[in-house]
Amino acid sequence: MGGKSLIVYDADCGPCSKFRRLVDWLDRYNRLDYLSLVKADESGILDSIPRNRRHRSFHLISVEGKVSSGAVAIPNLLALLPLGSIAVALVHKVPWSQNAMNFVYNTLSRLHDNGSCGYKAGSTTSSSLIDRRRMDEVVAKKQTKWILNGDQIIGFLRSFL
């Protein structure tokens, strides 16, 4: 990794790729590298994470090798970004902030769950996700909830910058 933390994300998922681009845009100090979940799986980087959880969220691997995932990784990720230490301090001072962060992350990760992400039983390659994608398309059509798309989320976040 060369002294940088590593974000492992699903490069085949539109919302996940937009999240990666947003983080890369915010990473003014160039403290992060990026790797697809498939390549991370193939290289063994994610062996410490149970296989059935690897494609459920993004993962942040610190320079020291500590792995955090999903909403739990957000404060660690924020700390690497400009002014992130201020955001992390607020997260730690406000008692309900981790619950709020979990809610927001889980809500946004529905975009991921309704997309291309996940494993087909017994498989490890991204090409095996085709059946999961078809199933998720059917599920997405049946849902009646309003879900923000990735462009709306990024636009919303940029309005605060």
Strands 5-9 and 59-61: antiparallel
pLDDT at 18 over 80: yes
Residue with the two structure tokens 């462009």 = 151
For the segment 114-125, what is each residue's pLDDT rounded down to a tens digit?
Answer: 555 555 444 444
CA dihedral 86, 89, 93, 94 (to 10 degrees): 60
Q: What is the arithmetic mean of pLDDT over 10-30?
A: 89
Answer for the pair 29, 161: CB distance below 8 angstroms, yes or no: no
Q: Which residues of 35-47 are buried (b: 16+ CB within 10 A; e: fewer)?
A: bbbbebbeeebbe
Q: Would you list the domain boundaries of the chain?
A: 5-158
For the segment 63-80, what is each residue's pLDDT rounded down to a tens digit?
Answer: 998 999 988 888 889 889
The rounded distance, in Å, linking the Cα atoms of 48 and 67 is: 8
Question: Which band of pLDDT confidence, cut at 50, 70 and 90, is reported for residue 97?
Answer: confident
